[in-house]
Structure 1
Amino acid sequence: MDPKAAYDELTRRSREWSTLASCAALLSWDELTVMPTAASAFRGDQLGLLAGLEHERATDPKVGELLATVEGSDLVADPESPEAADVRELRRSFDRKTKLPRALVEELARVTSAAQHEWVAARKGRDFPRFLPWLDRIVALKRREAECVGAPGGDPYDALLDDYEPGASASRLSGLFDALKAELVPLVGQIASSETRPDPGVLRGNYPIDRQKMLGELVAASIGFDFDRGRLDTSAHPFCSGIAPGDCRITTRYRPDDFEESFFGVLHEVGHGLYEQGLDPDRFGTPMGESVSLGIHESQSRLWENLVGRGRAFWTHWFPIVRRLFREPLGAAEFDAFHRAVNRVEPSLIRTQADEVTYNLHIIIRFELERALLSGDLPPADLPGAWDESYRRDLGVVAPDVADGCLQDVHWSAGLFGYFPTYTLGNLYAAQLFDRASEELGDLDASIRQGDTTPLLRWLRDHVHRHARRHTPAALIRRATGSDPDHRPLIRSLKARYGPVYGLSGAEVPS
């Protein structure tokens, strides 16, 4: 077979198993939004079967033969060509998946599907012992996975992290996170000791859910989310699922007495959705039609949620609109008071509700704990105590029970070990990308004040979205911003935004 025919066959197969994965994604969306609870056991069987079928096709020895035919040919001579990127990433995926037994893949799918429902019940009942047997099983399964795909004698965490952030390592992340933490902790201390305290009362009151939904869709559409190719729904835990070309689904959750949770949740998930909708639909099912990493994905959501959505320029346009929609709580509200309220800092228990300054401390705690769980240094039964101690040490707060403690996140019940660090990487990447976009686009705030975010979205499409998996995450950031992943732009951004809010000396005044 000639290389071109081999490449065409590779991409045909890749699209086939990606279609199976899209079926699983649709079932997972259904499971988390509208599925009856009594269907959970059979849903695990469905997802397990699909995971097994996808794994079987992706590890067919014929795939290895096709890859060998194309590798080294003129078709992939240019390392940045779509063909070269596809072949490189398909080889990486093939080598990883062929190390995993199908039985382990199916067992992980079944166990995590059931465990997510047990997690919901355990959290609702504040009952860690109910969830502990499932956590034990999942940790054991993830260790087996790491043994299968990791380097002999290597850090098991690296093997799992590579699935979400290719090329990253626990040691490099530890150095980056330590440098970030060394600057965050004193910044949080400065803010805590400030006599200035923004009043969040303006964000509490009567915010009818039907109007929150209307506003969410209006803002989502205004910044570029295409509702002909996507939808917004409600779930217990907000998420984005890029199911297939023309089918990107985002969710949020609502509280009738709270403005922030839904609004910023929508901005966050829309950021993910814009990335999914910015990928080339003609390349669906191949690496050049897929996002490069979760860290890059998270950079898009955090950029829109925080760097755009908490800025003065954004609210210069949107505050009058929001005040008209919610006359009862906001009719007499002043712009500066409202803006300070959405930029307040309060060490808290819940990651998803954390402010922009303390959020990364939540992630660093999880990164440290899950590394300890995988290495065996932390027995799963000791997780609640270790969690409380970490929160007391780094954030000065302790959860009243496990619902707001170690059971607050769905990730471990879903088997997503290695996922959490990508949230902080996303924050770091977002600050770097926004800095560079602002430099290249000139007065970016001027267009945002007019409600026009098209220049920014166009820049992101050109520098991030269209590249798909052509480059590694670190290389993509380096090419887009001119520097390696770095914590300093984020720290500068935080000081520029929160310094004026809290009257910190030496702070820059944001436009």
Structure 2
Amino acid sequence: MNSEQRREKLENLKARFATMSDLGAAASLLHWDQETYMPKKAVGLRSEQLATLSRLSHETLVAKETGDLISSLEDAFDADSEEGAMVRVAKRGFDKSTKLPSKLVEERARATSLAQPAWVEARERADWSIFAPHLEKLMAIQKETAEHLGYRDHPYDALLDLFETNGRKAKLEPMFESLKAGIVPLLKKVTEAASREETARETAILGEFDEARQEAFIRRVLTDYGYDWSRGRQDKVVHAFCINIGGPEDVRLTTNYSPARIDKALFTSMHESGHGMYEQGVSPAYSRTPLGGGVSMGVHESQSRLWENIVGRSRGFWGRYLPVLAELFPGAFEGMDVETFYRAVNEARPGFIRIDSDELTYNLHVLLRFEIEVALMEGELSVDDIPAAWNAKMEEYLGIVPENDSLGALQDVHWSSGLFGYFPTYSMGNVLSVQFYEKALEENPSIPDDISDGNFSALHGWMEKNIYRHGSRFDPDDLVERVTGRPLDTAPYLKYLEDKYTELYAL
């Protein structure tokens, strides 16, 4: 096959993936609408629409024409080239999808579309029984999916691999053991050291905060971070998310406001903007191709956690932005000094809600969910028994028990969206956030001073150059080693926590 024939076949393959990308973008737009503005009675209709789009996209991917093009191009390009990466990623998607019957893909889309509003109602009423039948259906679909995909050691591996290429339960367990060994004793020290003074610091973020003014402050921060509003927007939802509508030109954020807390919508927005800037930073040349979008959810979460925590909870950040906040809310922060506010947004205290938890306890929330998902896949835990198991693990790891299921097993949107195997990527992201930040700092020592000046161009630029623009060109493990010189390593992250909380609580 000569170069002209190779190029023609590659263009044909890209055209097929462009079609799938467009179908996926339409589905994403329908999903975004369902979460934001869709009338309640449209749920049934929307579930059928999403099911149809999922089926059409799946049928396009698994078609013989797609397989023939991929087979003919497998050895046509250098493995390290963009073209070689495109074929490799396309083959991985094709191989996975050909294992899944179109009927199962359609059934999953329909089931998740029906499960999501049931989860919202169950959460509002704190009634697990409303959601349980939907989760039973979804679990059956997940188990069938794992069997179709196949796995080497454990059925959970098949689901995890959908979000983290080459992710394995056996690779996660040492990471969680290391995190637990480092975090649990540190949390015990912090809890023992906490006084009424530290607990009272939370009053710095409580009050009455007009939503429009919150939105103005958030927009200022995200603009300074580098989120491009000409290619995005932000809307209100029950559970915040970021969604890519087909490429870097349309990447949308959502958030959830609390009139009584200044931190809730702000840190949620910082988190989602990390996802958003990653997607906006992918090379436009990769749009509507197999390389479009972030490489994995672990790497994706490294960005959301970096911009939310390492940057957004730093002293330097609040030295710059507390005066801006005080100007927007006259009287609310009168007499408030930066140190008090910094300590308020970094207070470590076991709580019920994962998305509101502090950096120290966050990974214990993720560990709980990881263990429950594995037990569900192994058949050791039934759907009906999830609330009791959840509460027992909350007591074991955090020393508290939710008073109802809205504060417990119903708090996350992931299961209603069919995202099994996603939760561990949050902890992977925490670990990687420090690895990436340390490397950025090594190459740009001025970054802390830049943050204090409200200048994020060096940090954002480094992330864009080393991570964002590559999209899915490199496998996640390869990307991490290329950028940091080593694989995922919990040591820098645990040292970051140790140093931060030792200083905060004078341990």
Distance 1:297 1:195 in 2: 33
1:236 — aligned with what? 238
Distance 2:133 2:235 in 1: 32
1:191 — aligned with what? 190
1:123 — aligned with what? 123
Q: How does 1:363-378 map to 2 (within 5 A)?
A: 363-378=366-381
Q: Does 1:468 align with 2:471?
A: yes
For 1:251, what is the secondary structure of its paired residue?
A: strand
Q: Pick from 387, 411, 415 the counterpart of residue 414 of structure 2.
A: 411
1:336 — aligned with what? 339
Tell me if the contact between 1:399 and 1:405 (Cα under 8 Å) persists in the aligned partners: yes
Over the matched positions of the two proteins, sequence identity in percent amounts to: 40
Please list the CA deviations of residues 422-463 of structure 1 after superposition, one character each: whole Å capped at 9, or x if unmatched: 111111110100111111101211111111000000100111
Q: Which is further off, 58-67 or 494-503?
A: 494-503
Please list the CA deviations of residues 196-248 of structure 1 after superposition, one character each: whole Å capped at 9, or x if unmatched: 42511011112111100101111111110111111111111111001133111
Q: Which is further off, 267-276 or 319-328?
A: 319-328
Give how far 1:371 is off. 0.7
For 1:254, what is the secondary structure of its paired residue?
A: coil
For 1:494, what is the secondary structure of its paired residue?
A: helix
Distance 2:390 2:291 in 1: 39
Q: How does 1:37-436 map to 2 (within 5 A)?
A: 37-73=40-76, 76-77=77-78, 79-151=79-151, 154-196=153-195, 197-198=198-199, 199-245=201-247, 246-436=249-439
Tell me if the contact between 2:294 and 2:300 (Cα under 8 Å) persists in the aligned partners: yes
Give how far 1:154 is off. 3.5
Tell me if the contact between 1:253 and 1:262 (Cα under 8 Å) persists in the aligned partners: yes
1:507 — aligned with what? none
Give how far 1:253 is off. 1.1
* CA gap 1:136/1:195 in 2 versus in 1, 3 angstroms: closer
Please list the CA deviations of residues 441-497 of structure 1 after superposition, one character each: whole Å capped at 9, or x if unmatched: 012111111110000001001110112112111211111111110111111111222
Distance 1:327 1:337 in 2: 18
2:13 — aligned with what? 10
For 1:289, what is the secondary structure of its paired residue?
A: coil
1:501 — aligned with what? 504
Give how far 1:256 is off. 1.4
Please list the CA deviations of residues 54-76 of structure 1 after superposition, one character each: whole Å capped at 9, or x if unmatched: 00001111111111111112xx1
Tell me if the contact between 1:324 and 1:331 (Cα under 8 Å) persists in the aligned partners: no
Tell me if the contact between 2:434 and 2:492 (Cα under 8 Å) persists in the aligned partners: yes
Give how far 1:290 is off. 2.0
The residue type paired with residue 330 of structure 2 is R
Distance 2:331 2:33 in 1: 36
Distance 1:67 1:495 in 2: 49
Give how far 1:288 is off. 2.4
Tell me if the contact between 2:164 and 2:298 (Cα under 8 Å) persists in the aligned partners: yes
Distance 1:47 1:23 in 2: 9
For 2:233, what is the secondary structure of its paired residue?
A: strand
Tell me if the contact between 2:320 and 2:453 (Cα under 8 Å) persists in the aligned partners: yes
Give how far 1:27 is off. 0.4
Give how far 1:369 is off. 0.3
Tell me if the contact between 2:270 and 2:312 (Cα under 8 Å) persists in the aligned partners: yes
For 1:288, what is the secondary structure of its paired residue?
A: coil
Please list the CA deviations of residues 337-370 of structure 1 after superposition, one character each: whole Å capped at 9, or x if unmatched: 1110011001011111111110010001100100
Q: Which is further off, 279-288 or 364-373?
A: 279-288
Q: Over aligned residues, Cα RMSD in angstroms?
A: 1.1
Q: Which is further off, 47-56 or 277-286?
A: 277-286
Count matched residues: 500
TM-score (norm 2): 0.97
Tell me if the contact between 2:348 and 2:360 (Cα under 8 Å) persists in the aligned partners: yes
Give how far 1:318 is off. 0.9
The answer for unaligned runs of 5 or more in structure 2 is: none
For 1:250, what is the secondary structure of its paired residue?
A: strand
Runs of 4+ in 1 over 4 A off after TM superposition: none
Distance 2:413 2:208 in 1: 29
For 1:399, what is the secondary structure of its paired residue?
A: coil
For 2:332, what is the secondary structure of its paired residue?
A: helix
Give how far 1:282 is off. 2.7
Distance 1:27 1:174 in 2: 36
Distance 1:483 1:180 in 2: 18
TM-score (norm 1): 0.96
Distance 1:475 1:33 in 2: 37
Give how far 1:379 is off. 1.2
Please list the CA deviations of residues 373-432 of structure 1 after superposition, one character each: whole Å capped at 9, or x if unmatched: 011111111111111111110111101011111111111111110010011111111010
The residue type paired with residue 272 of structure 2 is E
Tell me if the contact between 1:287 and 1:468 (Cα under 8 Å) persists in the aligned partners: no
